[in-house]
Amino acid sequence: MTQISAIPTSSEQPKERIELAAAYRLIAHFNMDDSIFTHISAKAPDDEGEHAFLINPYGLRFDEVTASSLATVDIDGNILRDTHGAGINKAGFTIHSAVHAARPEIKCVLHTHTVAGVAISSMEEGILPLNQWSLQFHNRMAFHDYEGIALDLAERERLVNDLGDNKVMILRNHGLLTCGRTVGEAFSLMFNMERACKAQLAIMSSGGTPKKIDPELAEKTAKQYEGWDKQHSGNKPDPQWDAFQRLAIKHYPDLVN
């Protein structure tokens, strides 16, 4: 099967920008966006700044983001590149810069405000061990208490302390956050987390009696997920992310521009 790297051969944009633009389009495609709000950030190409990351310019919907329109910002909030000319959302900078500064191994941070994600974030228990989808996150979720709209840079220290070495976090009364060593990992974690939230809400509204999975079995399954993920980490091919990117470029070919 043709790898995604062979598809946008006509694009002059670097891989980092194309992959992040694809993630934006996919979040919109699967109805996980929130107007012009929430963000996905990724480490910028080396020639754009040693500690810089890419993020959507303020005012663009996720379905409008292209590889070239992504803004480049450094950890201190200085905008290094902004072809759109609208700057960035300050609340998005607070959350994303916190993770990029504290976790150099993390290349991508993804934050959503979906109905299902916000609903589960508003429950004390978070995601419950009710099915195989949810077990990927068993004992592997961080929680961060709501502090209002994330405009206070002092919140960054508390946020990264709560995140620890986890890759997924429930922002209480707010939404969901995932981070990954690649854009594909962060996207796949969010895709699966969103499904787990939707399933939990469906179970709770069904009128039936939820059946929690035994903690030992839940931990076994979580480790099975981890073992699978390790096979597709770093520079190794990730067939699921390749498939998602093919979908994005098939439906939204302009994203590579």
CATH class held by domain 13-243: alpha beta
| Rounded Cα distance, 21 and 84, in Å | 14
Helix (H) or strand (E) holding 244: helix 239-251
**Can you give the residue ranges of every domain in the chain?**
13-243
Contacts of 132 by beta carbon, 8 Å cutoff, 6+ apart:
221
Q: Say how far residue 224 (Cα) sits from the centre of its chain.
A: 22
What is the model's pTM? 0.93
| Rounded Cα distance, 41 and 52, in Å | 10
Q: pLDDT digits over 131-170, tens only?
A: 999 999 999 999 999 999 988 889 999 999 999 999 999 9
Q: pLDDT digits over 39-79, tens only?
A: 999 999 999 988 999 999 999 999 999 999 999 999 999 99
Q: Got the DSSP string for 143-209?
A: EE---SSS--TTHHHHHHHHHTT-SEEEETTTEEEEEESSHHHHHHHHHHHHHHHHHHHHHHHSSS-
